[in-house]
Amino acid sequence: MTADQLPISKSAVIKDVLDSPLKINLMELGFLPGKKITLQHVAPLNGPMAFRLEESTLALRKAEAALLDIQLL
Amino acid sequence: MPEQTQSPLVKPLKIAIIGNPNVGKSTIFNQLTGLSQKIGNYPGVTVDKKIGMMNYQGSTYEIIDLPGTYSLYPNSEDEIIAHRVLNQLSEVERPDYVLMVIDSLQLSRGMFLASQLIDLGLNLALVLNMSDLAEKHDLEIKGFELFKALGVPILNTDARGSKGLEQIRELIHQKNFSKKNQFLQVDDFIDTSLLQDIKEKFDLSNDYQAYQILRFGLKDKGLPLEKRQWVKNKIDSLNINLESAQLEETKLRYRRITEIIEKVLVKKEDRKESSSTIDKIILHPVFGYLLFASILLVIFQAIFAWATVPMDLIDGVFADLGTWVSTVLPEGVLTSLLAEGIIPGIGGIVIFIPQIALLFGFLAILEDTGYMSRVVFLMDRWMRPFGLHGKSIVPLVSGVACAIPGVMAARNIGNWKEKIITIMVTPLMSCSARLPVYIILIGLVVPNETVLGFINLQAVALLSLYLLGVIGVLFTAFGLKSILKTDEKSFLMVELPSYRTPRWKDVIITMYNKSKTFVTEAGKVILAISIILWVLGTYGPPEKMEEIRAERDQKIELASSEVDIEEIRAEASSDLLENSFIGIMGRAIEPAIRPLGYDWKIGIALITSFAAREVFVSTIATIYSIGGDPEDDSTIREKLNAQINPVTGDKVFNKATAFSLMVFYVFAMQCMSTLAIVYRETKGWKWPLIQTVYMTALAYVSALITYQILS
């Protein structure tokens, strides 16, 4: 599954970052294979999603979250 | 890297500060340089170039604040600048030393950029900022281990509490920076023999730098065209996949960083982040928006309450100054230019400072506390259907006070298309300068009555005008979304930083710098337009103008009382304006504005109020020779109500004309200051001209429809 389908307050481990022009942007922010993410907040009407990644909270749109291939924990 | 040849005695050493966004980099810059900052431009981009001087123990250092970036991969204009300066491509901006600021809580993200800087062979020192927060989070960073792994000097600070700043100054003064050879081996991700040509062409000794130029040289418009063409040919001839090399580099880099982090970072226990609990309320689907709306309300309340006092004061001072100059200096063209052209022109610039300073003060507080990225998070979904970004909300909301700070705030939007759309639509929000026009016209035609017990009709009319502006924004943004083309992909990747108390010194410095930028950058254009308008409004066909003046002087001599003289003067200035070039222009456009319900006198007011919308009121006062205090609404209202159209016998300011005028002012670009700031922010006349044309067209058509329906 991909991170846009992660239920709220659930955690997962990133398996892979899918190919896209944004791949590098995600990786330089620290979205890397093996890292743990937790979905903390979702804005209304399928708005952005806020993930906890290590010591920071990062907001992504659904389309960008869909680039993270994850394994539910 | 070429050897340093300049002596510190001749030219101050240049130190560039770089770091990820939100690491406290600007605070360090502000603390080191204070108010000695200069804001300039980098060629080819709209990014501000921030430079300040640091004086320490008798020496002077030039500090350059580079835009925040996560890597040297240039995706946005900000990152292109970091790429250009740190790759030492521009002789003028070449720093001698680089100070990188890292957030202690985001060590691995910071090390990503730091390792790239090491690979570029820069003279580097690292500052681990927010060490106090790391302690609170029970994180321990083994400084010596990190030093062993990276080989560059490392300093622990907490810039918010200004602890450690002395150490930073000392570090710079001692030139305690160092170069380390390589963090990664460049030939692990690209065949270095391919880079040989580039090193020769660009006179480089460093492989990683050569690779950076090969990979990204095309993106930097600061590079001469010939060199870019050369890079393009080189890439075409090499037939290698540079994108996969970049991915490989990223992976290798993070792998090494993870190895180092394991040795360096000690996590005492896993604990819950407190921001998350606060965010449950602040990002709540209902309360979150209510809270945002209340914060906006408070800000506007404050701006209207606090800004009007200094604005009235500025208005008064410049008016008195003008009068004083015209009485003290001998009568003549120069005096008139000074008293009626230049002084009001400068006054027209200065008057915006309270609003700009206050609005940016509030924005700085929201930004500094970490709230602003939450707003972006909440609003992004609502903005996107209109081709806007979550970050567009700040300019749009600022536009209700004044479009100028709004347009200035649009530069935070990374995507070109979203930024242009935001700049193009922000002036459609009804700003505070439209208010006097609305109030006069509503007072004329909307009865001050209450319906259903509590709804005031005048208030409903006013609210409708604001809503009309918002509808204009959404409609236009939607239209531009389908017209403008870009290859850039729109995305939102924003950090929601931990909540913190704002740093007041930073807030003050932001307010000061933004006001200064406005005065120095937009001021020239505003002053030029004011002088042109003064010339057009003062001069006319000489014979006719002389005749009016002679007649006036004759009448004054015959007049018996002061009151009569006042009246004669008022009438004469009305005649003079009618016969000036602006008057002639007003008559010339009459056929075009007649369908909107305006006569040529209103035409004159439309032209003069291009300087600023509120000038409409004072021009109308002059042209209908309303003596007395032009600020007093009731006199103007009475006089206007009495104006009868000689042809039709109806009132000039009937319901249809007044509403048509209100609608016109909702949409029209009647503000040279906005024009000037759009010119400044888009670096050219193309966008401000397009904006003026489309807003005027929109205003014209809407006013036409309004008048035709109501009359």
Nearest CA distance, A70 vs chain B (angstrom):
18
Tell me: pLDDT of B465 over 90: yes
Could you read off the pLDDT of B209-232 as tens digits, one per residue? 888 888 887 777 777 788 888 888
Sheet containing B154-156, strands listed edge to edge, beginning at the edge strand earlier in sequence: B37-41, B48-56, B59-65, B13-19, B97-103, B124-129, B154-156
Tell me: pLDDT of B15 over 90: yes
Tell me: pLDDT of B481 over 80: yes
- Of the candidates B683, B672, B681, B694, which has an alpha carbon nearest to the alpha carbon of residue B348? B672
Name B59's bridge partners. B56
Which position has the higher pLDDT, B340 or A49?
A: A49
A41:B247 CB<8 A: no
- Of the candidates B122, B159, B118, B128, which has an alpha carbon nearest to the alpha carbon of residue B29? B159
Confidence band for B8, pLDDT divided at 50, 70 and 90: very low
CB B85 within 8 A of CB B93: yes
- Say if strands B48-56 and B37-41 run parallel, antiparallel, or are unpaired: antiparallel
A28:B494 CB<8 A: no
Q: How far apart are CA B405 and CA B673, in angstroms?
A: 11
Q: How far apart are CA B513 and CA B508, in angstroms?
A: 9
pLDDT of residue B319: 85
Residue identified by tokens 């000074």 is: B338
- Confirm or reject contact between B539 and chain A (CB < 8 A): no
Could you read off the pLDDT of B88-138 as tens digits, one per residue? 766 666 789 999 999 888 888 899 999 999 998 888 999 998 877 777 777
- Confirm or reject contact between B112 and chain A (CB < 8 A): yes
Tell me: pLDDT of A10 over 90: yes
For residue A22, which residues of chain B lie inside 8 Å, CB to CB? 489, 491, 493
pLDDT of residue B1: 42
pLDDT of residue A48: 96
A23:B279 CB<8 A: no
Tell me: pLDDT of B530 over 90: no
CA angle B594–B656–B694, rounded 5-degree value: 60
Confidence band for B551, pLDDT divided at 50, 70 and 90: confident
Buried b (16+ CB within 10 A) or exposed e, B231-268: beebeeeeeeeeeebbbebbebbbeebeebbeebbeee
Chain B, 62 to 91: residues with Cβ < 8 Å from chain A are: 70-71, 73, 75
For residue A30, which residues of chain B lie inside 8 Å, CB to CB? 106, 108-109
CB B373 within 8 A of CB A48: no
Two tokens, residue B359:
């609005």
Highest mean pLDDT among B26-40, B150-164, B247-261: B247-261
Nearest CA distance, B382 vs chain A (angstrom):
8
B493:A26 CB<8 A: yes
Mean local confidence (pLDDT), B666-676: 90
Nearest CA distance, B653 vs chain A (angstrom):
47
Buried b (16+ CB within 10 A) or exposed e, B274-300: ebbeebeebbeeeebbebbeeeeeebb
pLDDT of residue B658: 92
Count CB atoms within 10 A of the CB of residue A6: 21
**Domain membership of residue A55 as a residue range:** 3-72
Chain B, 555 to 584: residues with Cβ < 8 Å from chain A are: none
Test mutation, B249, B377, B382, chain A, max A CBs within 10 A: B377
SS (H, E, C) B290-337: HHHHHHHHHHHHHHHHHHHHHHHHHHHHHHHHHHHHHHHCCCCHHHHH
Angle between helix axes B371-383 and B287-328 (nearest 10 degrees) is 100
B489:A22 CB<8 A: yes
Could you read off the pLDDT of B298-329 as tens digits, one per residue? 887 887 778 888 888 988 898 889 889 888 88
* Kind plus residue range of the DSSP H or E element containing B361: helix B353-369
Nearest CA distance, B169 vs chain A (angstrom):
29
Nearest CA distance, A59 vs chain B (angstrom):
5
Q: Which amino acid is at B35?
A: L
Dihedral sign computed on CA atoms, order B373, B375, B379, B383: negative
For residue A29, which residues of chain B lie inside 8 Å, CB to CB? 70, 109, 493, 495
Name B51's bridge partners. B38, B64
What average pLDDT does the structure give for chain A? 92
Prediction pTM value: 0.82
CATH of the domain at A68: 2.30.30.90
Two tokens, residue B327:
């009485």
Count CB atoms within 10 A of the CB of residue B135: 13
- Of the candidates B658, B177, B290, which has an alpha carbon nearest to the alpha carbon of residue B438? B658
- R_g of chain B computed on alpha carbons: 30
Nearest CA distance, A63 vs chain B (angstrom):
8
- Confirm or reject contact between B42 and chain A (CB < 8 A): no
Chain B, 227 to 246: residues with Cβ < 8 Å from chain A are: 246
What average pLDDT does the structure give for chain B? 84
Q: How far is CA B421 from CA B383, B470, B475, B480, B492, in A?
A: 11, 14, 11, 7, 17
Q: How far is CA B140 from CA A55, B266, B267, in A?
A: 13, 5, 6
Nearest CB to A30; choose among B108, B139, B489: B108
A29:B276 CB<8 A: no
DSSP three-state, residue B270: coil
Q: How far apart are CA B398 and CA B68, in angstroms?
A: 24
Mean local confidence (pLDDT), B437-443: 85
Dihedral sign computed on CA atoms, order B339, B610, B686, B356: positive
B493:A54 CB<8 A: no
pLDDT of residue B90: 60
pLDDT of residue A63: 93
What residues have CB less than 8 Å from B215, skipping those under 6 apart? B242, B245, B246
CB hemisphere CA count around B286 (13 angstroms)? 0
- For A22-31, B55-64, B74-83, B157-166, which range has the lowest pLDDT when averaged over its residues? B157-166
pLDDT of residue B6: 46
- Confirm or reject contact between B371 and chain A (CB < 8 A): no
Residue identified by tokens 């939102």 is: B492
Mean local confidence (pLDDT), B247-263: 89
A48:B377 CB<8 A: yes
Count CB atoms within 10 A of the CB of residue B635: 15
Q: How far apart are CA B628 and CA B633, in angstroms?
A: 11
- Confirm or reject contact between B458 and chain A (CB < 8 A): no
Confidence band for B160, pLDDT divided at 50, 70 and 90: low
Q: Could you tell me what percent of chain B has a pLDDT over 90?
A: 23
CB B68 within 8 A of CB B20: yes
Mean local confidence (pLDDT), B19-40: 83
pLDDT of residue B5: 46
- CA–chain centroid gap for B593, Å, is 34
Nearest CA distance, A55 vs chain B (angstrom):
6
CB B691 within 8 A of CB B425: no
pLDDT of residue B628: 46
- Of the candidates B102, B191, B86, which has an alpha carbon nearest to the alpha carbon of residue B143? B102
Could you read off the pLDDT of B454-464 as tens digits, one per residue? 788 888 888 89
For residue B418, which residues of chain A lie inside 8 Å, CB to CB? none
CB hemisphere CA count around A55 (13 angstroms)? 20
Two tokens, residue B566:
């006042």
Report the number of distinct structural domains present in chain A.
1
Two tokens, residue B86:
């740190």
pLDDT of residue B4: 46
For residue B373, which residues of chain A lie inside 8 Å, CB to CB? 59
Which value does ipTM take for this structure? 0.96
Tell me: pLDDT of B448 over 60: yes
* Burial (CB count within 10 angstroms: exposed 0-12, middle 13-18, buried 19+), residue B134: buried
Backbone region of residue B270 per phi and psi (left: phi > 0; alpha: psi in -120 to 50; beta: other values): beta
What chain B residue is nearest to A48 in terms of C-alpha separation? Answer: B377
Test mutation, A9, A49, A56, chain B, max B CBs within 10 A: A56
How many Cβ pairs closer than 8 A exist between chain A and B?
105
Nearest CB to B494; choose among A24, A28, A59: A59
- Of the candidates B306, B245, B46, B267, which has an alpha carbon nearest to the alpha carbon of residue B135? B267
Nearest CA distance, B212 vs chain A (angstrom):
15
Count CB atoms within 10 A of the CB of residue B453: 5
- Confirm or reject contact between B254 and chain A (CB < 8 A): yes
- Of the candidates B101, B103, B100, which has an alpha carbon nearest to the alpha carbon of residue B139? B103
pLDDT of residue A70: 95
- Of the candidates B596, B552, B547, which has an alpha carbon nearest to the alpha carbon of residue B708? B596
